[in-house]
């Protein structure tokens, strides 16, 4: 992440955004992106209690927050685009007035969800909503298009919903087919928007006598949303029933790791801590590499890009949450805040873990290339031996 990325992200967070991501748009047709090579995705979250309140039917409070977040996002991207233009670059705020209010039967030219997946902040779920690690689908979205020379994240091109069918089973309209999204798959091939709109309008009438197309059932039931609104009841799991953490690295280091059979201790890519902290293995409970604050300049060769290779690791007791660990180590609060600011990780630092022990390859479940999809290593399950 460059200094320009940090400045823009800091401003957008100050204006009220909860998630900010930067995505490359060059693969999209020039006309849909206004000739701009970069999209900035901006998300604002619903309060937990508002989403808890729509378990049965949509509520007036939910409708009010729907409007509040839309207005907030319009203000954020408008101000954000002005700030970028003051820096000397072109910028277009994709407000509701600019792209449409999202309630028509037609798709917008460049949906905010597309910008969000290009920015690596989430994927399209089976309900056709964006799903994020932090808040599930309990968010509203907007975006900015710009020609500013920004570092862009690794895009998410496939669904990460797997075999989960929670939203499909809960959808009162039967609009969710259960088919997994991937780039190039048209929305109507896996989701029925006509059924959704019809039932949403009926449920709004039942819930609060509202004359609006709004439901939210698929948002509320999504397991990722549930982990946000009820964190004590829903602990993230992966690789079957095992709880896992993730480590990210580059292909340049992969041969060394595989040859040594362990992940070694190292200082952080986050510059402010190099003189303050002893070497550790840096981990996260988020499978999204963009949550780690990895610092790269635009044009970094793929070989050295540490957002490409992901290790899925069996969680062990000695792997500690960074916030708890840093407090036990007596790390100065100012230093911690500088580190968080360096990574533009005001929210995502809560996903960080550290290990003061090397991690043997025997505790690694999968090693994969997120850009190419290649699997470098997969731990074979232990087969029981019959006597």
Dump the DSSP string for 340-371.
HHHTT-TTGGGGEEEESS-EEGGGEEEEEETT
**Band of the pLDDT at 49, cuts 50, 70, 90?**
very high
Say what the pLDDT of residue 387 is: 41
Tokens of 114: 């597309």
Rounded Cα–Cα distance for residues 22 and 114 (Å): 12
**Band of the pLDDT at 105, cuts 50, 70, 90?**
very low
Rounded Cα–Cα distance for residues 63 and 269 (Å): 42
Rounded Cα–Cα distance for residues 94 and 146 (Å): 11
Query: CB–CB of 250/305 below 8 Å?
Result: yes
**Quick one: average pLDDT of 123-150?**
96
Residue with the bigger pLDDT between 207 and 267: it is 207
Q: What are phi and psi of 319, to 5 degrees?
A: -85, 115
| pLDDT of 386 higher than 60 | no
**Quick one: average pLDDT of 33-49?**
96
Sequence-distant (≥ 6) Cβ neighbours of residue 170 within 8 angstroms: 217, 218, 221
Q: What is the pTM of this model?
A: 0.76
**Quick one: average pLDDT of 175-184?**
95
Rounded Cα–Cα distance for residues 351 and 349 (Å): 5
Say what the pLDDT of residue 214 is: 96
3-state secondary structure of 187: helix
Say what the pLDDT of residue 298 is: 58
**Band of the pLDDT at 94, cuts 50, 70, 90?**
very high
Beta strands at 319-321 and 244-249: parallel, antiparallel or unpaired: unpaired
Say what the pLDDT of residue 106 is: 52
Tokens 């990722």 map to which residue? Answer: 224
| pLDDT of 278 higher than 50 | yes
Residue with the bigger pLDDT between 266 and 369: it is 369
Tokens of 143: 């975006």
User: How many C-beta atoms surround the C-beta of residue 243 within 10 A?
Assistant: 13
Say what the pLDDT of residue 305 is: 83
**Quick one: average pLDDT of 81-97?**
96
Say what the pLDDT of residue 76 is: 97
Rounded Cα–Cα distance for residues 282 and 74 (Å): 36
Of 273, 267, 247, which Cα lies nearest the Cα of 342? 273
User: pLDDT exceeding 70 applies to what percent of the chain?
Assistant: 87
| The Cα angle at residue 348 between residues 46 and 184, in degrees rounded to 5 | 75
Rounded Cα–Cα distance for residues 379 and 38 (Å): 38
Tokens of 220: 């509320």
Rounded Cα–Cα distance for residues 116 and 42 (Å): 8
**Quick one: average pLDDT of 137-144?**
97
| The Cα angle at residue 363 between residues 228 and 320, in degrees rounded to 5 | 45
Q: Is 177 exposed, middle or buried (0-12, 13-18, 19+ CB in 10 A)?
A: middle
Say what the pLDDT of residue 112 is: 96
**Quick one: average pLDDT of 103-130?**
86
């Amino acid at each position: 992440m460059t200094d320009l990325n940090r400045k823009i992200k800091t401003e957008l967070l100050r204006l009220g955004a909860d998630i900010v991501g930067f995505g490359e748009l060059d693969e999209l047709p020039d006309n849909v992106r206004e000739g701009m090579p970069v999209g900035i995705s901006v998300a604002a979250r619903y309060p937990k209690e508002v989403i808890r309140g729509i378990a049965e039917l949509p509520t007036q409070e939910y409708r009010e927050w729907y409007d509040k977040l839309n207005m907030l996002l319009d203000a954020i991207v408008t101000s954000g685009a002005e700030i970028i233009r003051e820096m000397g670059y072109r910028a277009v705020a994709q407000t509701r007035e600019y792209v449409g209010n999202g309630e028509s039967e037609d798709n917008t030219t460049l949906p905010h969800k597309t910008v969000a997946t290009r920015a690596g902040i989430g994927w399209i779920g089976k309900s056709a909503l964006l799903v994020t690690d932090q808040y599930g689908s309990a968010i509203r979205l907007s975006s900015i298009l710009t020609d500013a020379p920004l570092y862009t994240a690794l895009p998410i091109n496939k669904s990460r919903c797997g075999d989960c069918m929670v939203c499909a089973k809960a959808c009162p309209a039967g609009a969710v087919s259960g088919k997994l999204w991937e780039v190039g798959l048209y929305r109507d091939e896996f989701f029925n928007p006509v059924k959704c709109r019809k039932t949403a309008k009926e449920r709004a009438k039942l819930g609060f006598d509202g004359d609006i197309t709004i439901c939210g059932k698929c948002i509320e039931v999504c397991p990722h949303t549930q982990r946000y609104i009820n964190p004590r009841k829903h602990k993230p799991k992966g690789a079957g029933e095992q709880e896992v953490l993730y480590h990210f690295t580059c292909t340049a280091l992969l041969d060394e790791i595989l040859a040594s059979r362990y992940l070694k201790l190292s200082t952080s890519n986050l510059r402010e801590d190099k003189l303050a902290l002893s070497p550790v293995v840096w981990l996260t409970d988020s499978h999204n590499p963009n949550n780690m604050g990895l610092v790269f300049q635009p044009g970094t060769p793929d070989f050295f890009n540490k957002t490409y290779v992901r290790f899925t690791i069996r969680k062990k007791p000695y792997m500690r949450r960074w916030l708890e660990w840093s407090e036990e180590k007596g790390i100065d609060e100012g230093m911690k805040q500088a580190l968080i600011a360096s990574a533009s990780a005001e929210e995502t630092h809560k996903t960080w873990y550290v290990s003061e022990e090397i991690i043997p390859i025997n505790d690694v479940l999968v090693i994969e290339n997120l850009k190419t999809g290649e699997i470098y290593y997969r731990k074979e399950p232990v087969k029981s031996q019959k006597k």
